[in-house]
Amino acid sequence: MLLLLHASLPGLTTPPTKNWIPFLRRPLYLDETYAADVGFDPLKFVEREGPWWELAGAATAHRRVAWMREAEIKHSRIAMLAAAGWPLSELYHGPLAGAAGLPFGLDPTQGRAPSLLNGNLAESAPLLVLAVLFASYLECRTLDQVHGLTATGRTLRAGQPVELTYSPGDLGFDPLSLYDFWGRLMPPLVEARAAVDNEYRLDWLVYHRRVMEAAEIKNGRLAMLAITGYAFQEALWGVPVVDQTPILFTPLPELCRG
């Protein structure tokens, strides 16, 4: 048990550095600085020169990787919301519209969610404009949350040592305190040592924050694939995705009853 706890902290074990696809060479700039870095960049976007890097202020490989991780995590979050909202809109738009006495708004798309390929996006133009404005506001509020500008290191807050790290996509929004959820679940032996060893406690928290970051980015990558699949499936077959694979969108109690 002690060995497992000891091995769970960074610096005490060194995982092998490898590419996600074994026969591909891992680029040197993918050095596992960020969570869920599997060494996969076959098109070598970071090495491609272009004016966009000058606009982004990213002259070095490390700055470019940080810039692309910022973009990836933000797209991931949008995709996770979309991957849930798309089927929910197809499942519950009709009942909610009927309950509110409103017309069924998905008739033009035969029950499919409005999208670039399905059409009917004009009806949602005001909401889309508000979404763009809100996203622009968040971007402007977090211009200093980038690689090289964010304060890092260890400091004191309210008399307690804390670890300041650069985390791509960190908007300071965590109302449920999920970021440190796993870090707070300390086994008794870890808790006892953390109570007298602040260095150990900080290492424990940083490690488990990285676990949460990895979970977020991996779920986001899956969501980006899913939402792309929704769009092309519905465009090709002309049928709502919830009707193409109903077993995936049927509540568990209903499946058990059926």
Residue 255 predicted with pLDDT over 90: no
**pLDDT tens string 150-177:** 555 566 666 666 666 667 888 778 888 8
Pick 212 or 2 by higher pLDDT: 212
pTM: 0.80
Name 165's Cβ contacts closer than 8 Å, sequence gap at least 6.
152, 206, 209
Q: Calculate what percentage of the chain has a pLDDT beyond 90.
A: 25
Q: pLDDT tens, 24-73?
A: 888 888 888 888 998 888 888 888 898 888 877 788 888 888 888 988 99
> Does 104 score more than 70 pLDDT?
yes
- Residue that wins the pLDDT comparison between 258 and 21: 21
pLDDT at 150 (0 to 100): 58
Residue 167 falls in which region: left (phi positive, over 0), alpha (psi -120 to 50) or beta: beta
Note the pLDDT of residue 77: 94
pLDDT of residue 78 exceeding 60: yes
